[in-house]
Amino acid sequence: MSWTEIVIEVARTHAEALSDALIDAGALSVSVEDADFGTAAEQPLFGEPGMEPKEAAWEHSRVVALTPVEADQAAIVAAAASAIGLAHSEVAFTLRPVADQDWVRLTQSQFEPIHIGKNIWVVPSWHDAPDPSALVLELDPGLAFGTGSHPTTRLCMEWLEANAPAGLTVLDYGCGSGILAMVAKKLGAEKVVGIDIDPQAIESAIFNTERNHCEVAYYLPDDFAASGQTHAFDVVVANILANPLKLMAPMLAGRIKPGGRLVLSGVLATQVEEVAAAYAPFLTLTVWAEHEGWVALAGQLSPLAESSGQ
């Protein structure tokens, strides 16, 4: 089956309403893009928690609606325009064909094995590992964050490889797909716990961990608190974002054993001082490595410190 895309460029104020109206008028799906993408006028849209824009649209938006090739695209546009109070003449559109393809194969071709650090490979299930003797993680792209492609994930994986936690306990806070927890376990950690606030992430992490024959315990925060386990670990890793990391400083510091280490990523180079300042009452954090404007911060709790476990 083939499809036809309707492409409409509109102002931000109409993008969301027009998208909904196109669906109601018979479009199969609708996406909104930055019409200025790739130019000097391109606008970033997403920020850190609490700073996101209210609408998923840009000042100069491009609305793309997918329709069956046999559909009356002009009628769909006219109906959508009328539904939101615009004259048909105010909604100029172009059409572009979408050829029938093997979409599964096409999607899979976009995800190749990823080489990280010295000896780590993240390999989708439809590929063979380039080096079977390496530390290999079989991991498909999914809904939970963490496939090794983002600089922040790479930085944490490289830190774990350079500071192998053999025989140690490790906490991966904000575990997402479970990738860091699995790396820690494959590097010899005695016990690994992953915690995330998203139940879907926990499900994804459990699935990935079973596939990779690792032993990691995953919890939602309240479930871990109720588990009665010790809250102190030799290594605590958190790959989140600067704002939540600052808020969680007392809690994360309280989960480190005396003499234990903390690794944080999801921090931009411009945010190093503010994040380090939030942890200064507990330990000194310094930049361990930087990649594409992102950094990994690392520090060690004093051997004489008392972990609060709060």
pLDDT tens-digit series, residues 115-146: 899 999 998 877 787 888 889 998 876 544 56
Q: Give the pLDDT confidence score for residue 53 in this predicted structure.
A: 46
pLDDT tens-digit series, residues 62-80: 999 999 999 999 999 999 9
Which of 16-30, 187-201, 255-269, 292-306 shows the lowest per-residue confidence on average (mean pLDDT)? 292-306
Q: What six digits make up the tokens of 117?
A: 């650090």
Helices vs. strands in the chain: H and E counts, helices first: 10, 14
Q: What percent of the chain has pLDDT over 90?
A: 63
Q: What six digits make up the tokens of 284?
A: 């000194």
pLDDT tens-digit series, residues 228-255: 876 799 999 999 999 999 999 999 999 9
Q: Give the pLDDT confidence score for residue 145 in this predicted structure.
A: 52
CA distances in angstroms from 26 to 30, 73, 86, 180, 252, listed in the order given = 11, 9, 18, 43, 50
Q: Which domains does the chain have, with CATH numbers?
A: 3-100 (3.30.70.120), 149-300 (3.40.50.150)
45 pLDDT above the threshold of 90: no
Q: Give the pLDDT confidence score for residue 89 in this predicted structure.
A: 79
Q: Which residue has the higher pLDDT, 44 or 71?
A: 71
Residue 120 is which amino acid?
I
Phi-psi region at 45: left, alpha or beta (left = phi > 0; alpha = psi -120 to 50)? alpha
10 pLDDT above the threshold of 80: yes
